[in-house]
């Protein structure tokens, strides 16, 4: 799971580096999503955009650490779906933390054309979070798997 999170983070950071080189002077229109370079000092929906950069970095660092600890603690008992969901959350969080640590902002490059500009790490975080919610409501999860009696046990 940690390797999967690292792959998610590396993919996002690689695309961000590409976007900074290629999209510096241009935008690419592509239908529902355009490629447009932007930089955000805040987090989701520009929350914290006016806060000092070190505060945003510290808060995102704490959140990333909490997700990493949760992944580390649940990894032995987590099934494949939970592992993928948590790895997506962690990979996105780590990518954003590394990107923000470099210059105080995150690099956005996907523009919806109507309001949102975001990046792949945001997508990993949102989809990983949604998957965790769905898995929680469907009754699957590390704790439930651990608490189930073994086959043939009474």
3 state SS for 15-83: HHHHHHHHCCCCCECCCCCEEEEEEECCCHHHCCCCCCHHHHHHHHHHHHHHHHHHHHHHCCCCCHHHH
What average pLDDT does this structure show over 32-57? 78
**How do strand 34-40 and strand 117-118 relate by DSSP bridges?**
unpaired
What average pLDDT does this structure show over 123-127? 93
Q: Of the given ranges (19-28, 48-57, 91-100), which has the lowest mean pLDDT?
A: 48-57
Is the residue at 55 inside a domain? yes
Is the residue at 57 inside a domain? yes
Q: Bigger pLDDT: 60 or 96?
A: 96
Number of domains comprising the chain? 1
Kindly state the tokens that stand for 83: 């592992």
Is the residue at 150 inside a domain? no
Q: Residues 25, 34, 122, 147: which is the catalytic one?
A: 122
What mean pLDDT is reported for the chain? 83
- What integer pLDDT is reported at residue 145 of this predicted model? 45
Catalytic, 12? Answer no
Residue in this structure with the two tokens 């999967």, named with its chain if needed: 4
Q: For the full predicted model, state whether its pTM sits above 0.85.
A: no
Give the range of the structural domain holding residue 61, as residue numbers without chain letter: 2-20+51-142
pLDDT of 144 > 60? The answer is no
Is the residue at 102 inside a domain? yes
**How do strand 106-111 and strand 34-40 relate by DSSP bridges?**
antiparallel
- What integer pLDDT is reported at residue 20 of this predicted model? 95
What average pLDDT does this structure show over 95-104? 90
Q: Residues 25, 34, 103, 108: which is the catalytic one?
A: 108
Classify 115 as helix, strand or coil. Answer: coil
Is the residue at 27 inside a domain? no
Catalytic, 103? Answer no
Q: Of the given ranges (26-35, 43-52, 94-103, 123-132), which has the lowest mean pLDDT?
A: 43-52
Q: How many residues does the chain have?
A: 154
Is the residue at 6 inside a domain? yes
Is the residue at 98 inside a domain? yes
Is the residue at 7 inside a domain? yes
Alpha carbon dihedral 136, 139, 140, 145, in 10-degree steps, equals: 120
């Amino acid at each position: 799971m940690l390797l999967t999170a690292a792959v998610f983070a590396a993919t996002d950071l690689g695309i961000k580096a590409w976007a900074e080189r290629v999209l510096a002077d241009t935008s690419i229109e592509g239908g529902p999503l355009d490629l447009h370079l932007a930089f955000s000092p805040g987090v989701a929906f520009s929350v914290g955009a006016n806060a000092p950069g070190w505060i945003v970095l510290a808060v995102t660092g704490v959140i990333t650490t909490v997700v990493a600890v949760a992944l580390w603690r649940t990894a032995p008992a987590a099934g494949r779906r939970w592992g993928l969901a948590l790895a997506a959350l962690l990979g996105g969080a780590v990518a954003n933390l590394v990107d923000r640590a470099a210059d105080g902002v995150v690099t956005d490059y996907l523009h919806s054309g109507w309001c949102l500009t975001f990046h792949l790490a945001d997508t990993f975080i949102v989809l990983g979070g949604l998957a965790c919610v769905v898995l929680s409501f469907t009754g699957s999860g590390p704790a439930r798997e651990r608490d189930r009696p073994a086959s043939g046990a009474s």
